[in-house]
Amino acid sequence: MDYIGEMKWRFFKYAAAFTIPVVTAISFLGEGAWTWVAIAYGFGLLPALELVLPSSKANLTEAELEVVKEDKSYDALLWSMVFVQYGLLAWFLMELAGGTREMWSLEWWGFVLAMGFSCSILGINVAHELGHRPEKHNHLLSQALLTTSLYTHFFIEHNQGHHRNVATKEDPGTARRNEWLQVFWFRAVFVAWYSAWQIEAKNMRRKGLSPWHPSNLFLRLQVLQWGLLAAVWVTLGWQVGVAWLIAGLFGGFLLEVVNYVEHYGLERNRVNEHRYERVQPHHSWNSDHPLGRLMLFELTRHSDHHHQPAKPYQTLDSIEEAPQLPTGYPGMMLLSLVPPLYFAVMNPRVDALAAKHAA
């Protein structure tokens, strides 16, 4: 195989992300403890493997970058996840409508949280990547995925709010030093939701329109997601509606835990009273651990993503000066659930980084 041909097959390493719908499907097919396979995979096996597998700071060469940037196979992988996620959601809803799972049982919780696991990784993370693309069709696919997770405000707040305000007090998605995850989660969800409304209301006023105009994207997406939930509630039963709502809440919770890990304790300096310094690689925590990189379409190379948000996932680099997490995302997410332990691990790193850039 020639060099160009070899490079065109590199996208298959990201097929590892398909293990997410596979373990979700196993949970859907399972009974009893088997419904917890997806959760055990994501927060048992993956963090354990990332503790022992070596990370890699290797980046593509300029020649390799030119090839992968033009290869639409990387986009096709993302697009395929839209169909997979909607297939899983339909399966989830119809299975519950059949009444085969006893509500609130341990089996039911495993089943529902498996859907939430998929909502987080396929519904929100893939939507995140698509939402950064300039093309309208990618934006529509991003919004469609976020609808499955009942998290459509993310499309507005993340792209127009978080990326502008990251590593400042103005960003609800940046965790402060010594801030407990539980406190952060409340702000990251509810303040971010309100921020999305404010952003879109401001966009409407710039167009000379009322914030309540039907073209308001925030309102349209809210009507879409809650309208679909209401339709499920009415047609399939309140039990099914509650299960989808819980799955969406869990997916959103996992997303915000990731946000907590990605920016914990990092701050940009003020240049003057009106603006902060430009976003630099040291304003996001980076992870080069291999499994998280592949499962999350390089989200863990977060320093380069915030430094250059328009870069497609397959072209993101490991930047030398970026601060590194001690393990991959799954392990850090688990650690963040116990804030005192998280502070003990991360605060020395936060302080060392602040001292380095103050020098």
* Whether 148 contacts 125, CB under 8 Å: no
Confidence (pLDDT) at 154 = 98
Q: Return the half-sphere exposure (C-beta side, CA atoms, 13 A cut-off) of residue 37.
A: 16
Confidence (pLDDT) at 214 = 96
Backbone angles phi, psi at 128, to 5 degrees: -60, -45
* Whether 27 contacts 37, CB under 8 Å: yes
| Strand locations in the chain (E) | 270-272, 275-276
Over 60: is that where the pLDDT of 326 sits? yes
**pLDDT level of residue 62 (50, 70, 90 thresholds):** very high
Average pLDDT over residues 313-321: 95
CB atoms within 10 A of CB 238: 10
**pLDDT level of residue 1 (50, 70, 90 thresholds):** very low
pLDDT, mean over the chain: 95
**pLDDT level of residue 184 (50, 70, 90 thresholds):** very high
Average pLDDT over residues 306-330: 95
Q: 312-334 burial string, b = 16+ CB within 10 Å, else e?
A: bbbbbbbbeebbebebbbbbbbb
**pLDDT level of residue 12 (50, 70, 90 thresholds):** confident
What percent of the chain has pLDDT above 90?
Answer: 92
Over 70: is that where the pLDDT of 2 sits? no
Average pLDDT over residues 57-74: 91
d(CA 113, CA 102): 15
Over 70: is that where the pLDDT of 6 sits? no
Confidence (pLDDT) at 203 = 98
pTM: 0.96
